[in-house]
Homo-oligomer: A and B are copies of this chain.
Amino acid sequence: MRVAVLGVGVTKFGEHWESSFSQLFVEAGSKAIVDAGVDGKDLEAIFVGNMSGGRFIDQEHVSALIADHAGLTPIPSSRLEGACASGGLALRQGVMAILSGFHDVVVVGGVEKMTDILSEDTTETLATAANQEWEAFLGMTFPGLYALMARKHMHDFGTTREQLAMVSVKNHANAMNNPNAQYHSAITVGDVLKSPMVADPLRLLDCSPITDGAACMILASEERAREFTDAPIYITGSGQASSALSLHDRKAIPVVDATSNAAREAYRRAGKGPKDIGVAEVHDAFTIGEIVAIEGLGFVEMGEGGRATEEGITQMGGRIPVNTSGGLKAKGHPVGATGIAQAVEVTLQLRGAAGKRQVDADVGLTHNVGGSGGTAVVHILEKG
């Protein structure tokens, strides 16, 4: 399979008190349209990832809101939701829409406006991505769920508290070179270990922040892409899997089986394997998330994620640089936008347009997780 990426655009990630939800989407979309060199009338459909417009901004039906605000009516516009994997789902639907022959040029995007409500309400809304009846209603939050995964990973595999911190240190360092990142602050392992405890063993600097932001891409069929560019980046693999919504129902607490299942499908479709991947954006909503991700994606053996991080394999210049954008931790995590923002970063890397954070790669991967692992979406992108 080959679907071309014609253009990409992101807003700055952070607190956008003076931009509305739809303004954020339109800003990212406009950048992607300009980057693609397409005209509004070339666009045939919109697929938007959004986790909880209904609770963050009291607005469902955001698909029509966005099409309307962007001046793109009457083209079809659909919202995809899979908690923090909503963006990845939108990307996958856009790919399917093109490969089905329904559309030749589509917008895929993601957007979330999380700072318009009180932070305790934000935490409660994020907890709706967990199982309401078995987890959230009983007081479990996302830091709590990931803390359980971290503690069990430490117990089973000897992963250290410091190794968790090193994920955050690396991603903050990477974000220093990403002008659109929410944080531009280099941190040390000591800073992480001194930061306030959130859910033992996870501390504040192990956790991704609350973020407003949007990201968009213009995708096209291979034939149609030739009108606009000689050397597009191609999406060559897409995988998606589901798993038990509740952490306690998984086969193993520190293993996100949806990740390995989604990766298997994506590798198969692309005809690639973990060894072919030169750069990856993975779902580090919490530091432990990146460690279990690089294991689930096959970059390192099960249980080796902490040690691999300490050895620098995932750093800039390492064997497989991970989260060159700064990741969810330091770039920010506007939940519905994250899956698209990951693919934007990989596109820039493969184009050689990633500025000071540029790495050398021909094949890249994105990995987007919903909840504590109930959904995972993996995409593989390649140079043309």
Residues of A within 8 A of B (CB): 20, 45-46, 51-55, 57-61, 63-65, 67-68, 72-83, 89, 92-93, 95-102, 125, 128-133, 136-137, 238, 240-246, 249, 257-258, 261-262, 370-371, 374-375
Please tell me if the beta carbons of A61 and B375 are within 8 angstroms of each other in the complex.
yes
Contact of A51 among B60, B74, B242 (CB under 8 A): B60
Tell me which of A68, A78, A98 has the highest count of chain B C-beta atoms within 10 A of its own C-beta. Answer: A78
Please tell me if the beta carbons of B245 and A61 are within 8 angstroms of each other in the complex.
yes
| Bound-state Cα–Cα, A353 to B9, Å | 51
Please tell me if the beta carbons of A58 and B136 are within 8 angstroms of each other in the complex.
yes
Query: A75 to chain B: which residues have CB within 8 Å?
Result: 241-242
Copies of this protein in the complex: 2
Q: Which 10 A-B pairs have the closest CB atoms?
A: A64-B374, A76-B240, A99-B100, A61-B83, A100-B100, A67-B242, A96-B100, A74-B241, A60-B128, A59-B132
Please tell me if the beta carbons of B96 and A102 are within 8 angstroms of each other in the complex.
yes
Minimum Cβ distance to chain B for residue A54 (Å):
4
- Residue pairs across A and B with Cβ atoms less than 8 A apart, 25 shown, are A53-B128, A58-B137, A59-B128, A60-B81, A60-B83, A60-B125, A61-B81, A63-B82, A63-B242, A64-B83, A64-B242, A68-B243, A68-B245, A68-B374, A73-B241, A73-B258, A74-B241, A76-B375, A77-B82, A78-B80, A78-B92, A79-B80, A79-B81, A93-B96, A96-B102
Minimum Cβ distance to chain B for residue A89 (Å):
5
Please tell me if the beta carbons of A54 and B243 are within 8 angstroms of each other in the complex.
no
Contact of A80 among B73, B80, B238 (CB under 8 A): B80
